[in-house]
Chains A and B, each alone.
Chain A
Amino acid sequence: MEPNSWPRFVESGSSSREFQMRHFLVLISVVLAAAGCQREERELRLDPPVAAALDRVALMPNRISGAPPDIYFALDKPYESNAFNLSQGKRLYSWFACKTCHSDGQGGIGPAFLDGWWNYGPEMVSIFASIRDGRPHGMPAFADKMTTEQIWQLAGYVQTIGAYSAKTGAPSRNDEKHTRPSENRAPAAILFDQGPTPVRPDQGPTP
Chain B
Amino acid sequence: MIPGLKPAAFVMASSLTLAGCSGWQSALDVHGESAISLKQLIVLIVIVCSIVWALVMIALILALARKRGRREFPLTVNASTERRMAISVGAAVAATVIIITAFSVLSFFTTRALSVAGSDDLTIKVRGLQWWWGIEYFGSTPDQRFETANEIHIPVGRKVRLQLEGLDVIHSFWVPSLAGKQDLIPGRPNELTIRAERAGVYRGQCAEFCGLQHAHMAFFVVAEEQGVFDEWVRLQRQGASAAPDDEARAGQQAFMSRQCAACHTIRGTAARGATGPDLTHVGSRKTIAAGLLETTRGSLAAWIADPQTLKPGNNMPMVALSPDELRAISAYLAGLK
Contacts and interface: CB of A to CB of B under 8 A. Distances in A.
Contacts, number: 39
Contacts of B313: 42, 44
Contacts of B262: 96, 144-146
A147 B312 contact: no
B317 A149 contact: yes
Nearest to B186: A175
Contacts of A144: 257-259, 262
A149 B275 CA distance: 17
A147 B309 contact: no
Nearest to A45: B308
A155 B306 CA distance: 24
A46 interface: yes
Contacts of A27: none
Contacts of B312: 44-45
B199 interface: no
A147 B257 CA distance: 13
B318 A48 contact: yes
Contacts of A145: 259, 262
A149 B320 CA distance: 11
Interface in B279-337: 306, 308-309, 312-313, 315, 317-320
B318 A51 contact: yes
B320 A147 contact: yes
Given A45-B309, A45-B312, A146 B259 contact: yes
Contacts of A52: 320
A44 B317 contact: no
A95 interface: yes
A42 B308 CA distance: 12
Nearest to B169: A175
Interface string A82-97: 0000000001000110
| Interface range, B side | 10 to 19
Task: Classify the secondary structure of A's interface with B.
Answer: loop
Nearest to A49: B320
Nearest to B130: A91
Given A96-B262, A145-B262, A46 B318 contact: yes
Interface string A124-154: 0000000000000000000011110110000
Nearest to B275: A95
A146 B168 CA distance: 21
A91 B263 CA distance: 13
A48 B319 CA distance: 9
A147 B308 contact: no
B318 A147 contact: yes
B307 to A, nearest CB: 9
A41 B257 CA distance: 33
Q: Which of A45, A91, A96 has the most CB of B within 10 A?
A: A45
A145 B187 CA distance: 29
Interface string A9-44: 000000000000000000000000000000000101
Contacts of B318: 45-46, 48, 51, 147, 149
A207 to B, nearest CB: 38
A40 to B, nearest CB: 14
A147 B275 contact: no
A42 B69 CA distance: 74
Contacts of B187: 175
B320 A51 contact: yes
A150 B276 CA distance: 15
Contacts of A146: 259, 262, 317
Contacts of A45: 306, 308-309, 312, 318
Nearest to B167: A175
A52 B275 CA distance: 24
A192 to B, nearest CB: 34
A46 B308 CA distance: 9
Nearest to B313: A44
A42 B315 CA distance: 14
B317 A147 contact: yes
B295 to A, nearest CB: 23
Given A45-B312, A48-B318, A95-B275, A147 B186 contact: no
Contacts of A51: 318, 320
B317 A150 contact: yes
24 contacts: A44-B308, A44-B312, A45-B306, A45-B308, A45-B312, A45-B318, A46-B318, A48-B320, A51-B318, A51-B320, A52-B320, A95-B263, A95-B275, A144-B262, A145-B259, A146-B317, A147-B259, A147-B317, A147-B319, A149-B318, A150-B317, A175-B168, A175-B186, A175-B187
Interface of A: 42, 44-46, 48, 51-52, 91, 95-96, 144-147, 149-150, 175
Interface of B: 168, 186-187, 257-259, 262-263, 275, 306, 308-309, 312-313, 315, 317-320
Given A44-B312, A147-B259, 7 more contacts: A51-B318, A144-B262, A145-B259, A145-B262, A146-B317, A149-B317, A175-B186
Which 3 interchain pairs have the tightest Cβ spacing?
A45-B308, A145-B262, A147-B317
